[in-house]
Amino acid sequence: MKVISESLPKLRAPCSRSNSLLEDDLDLAVQQQTLTKITIAETSEGFYLIVRLKWADQKDWYLCTRRDRTQPRLFKDLNRLNEHLKEAYPTESLELLRNQGLPEPGSDKRISQLGKGE
């Protein structure tokens, strides 16, 4: 595991439907062997995942829940998260970023327009 300690928080793209994945999507990426990188970002509130895929290697994708696609799914325990990753999403390595912030919630025009009758 590569650990980048005491790094300054990187400005990340806002989290929205256009750059978020569900666990089912991540499972499919593993089956299709398109998962190239897993990064764990540590915050004061917990840990969240950022992944890279072969077909969009320069784009960060956040693992989210169906309930909220504008915030990354937070994991509270790093040991449990690591065990889950080893079992479900095996990769040779992963990156751990310390002292990170949560990405800003993004907006999704489709969702915001639903309330406007469009």
Dihedral Cα 59, 60, 65, 70, nearest 10 deg? -90
Domain boundaries, the chain: 2-103
Average pLDDT in the chain? 83
Q: How confident is the model at residue 113 (pLDDT cuts 50, 70, 90)?
A: very low
pLDDT tens, residue by residue, 8-62: 455 688 899 999 999 999 999 999 999 999 999 999 999 999 999 998 878 999 9
Q: Which neighbouring-strand residues pair with 39? A: 50, 95
- Give the global pTM: 0.79
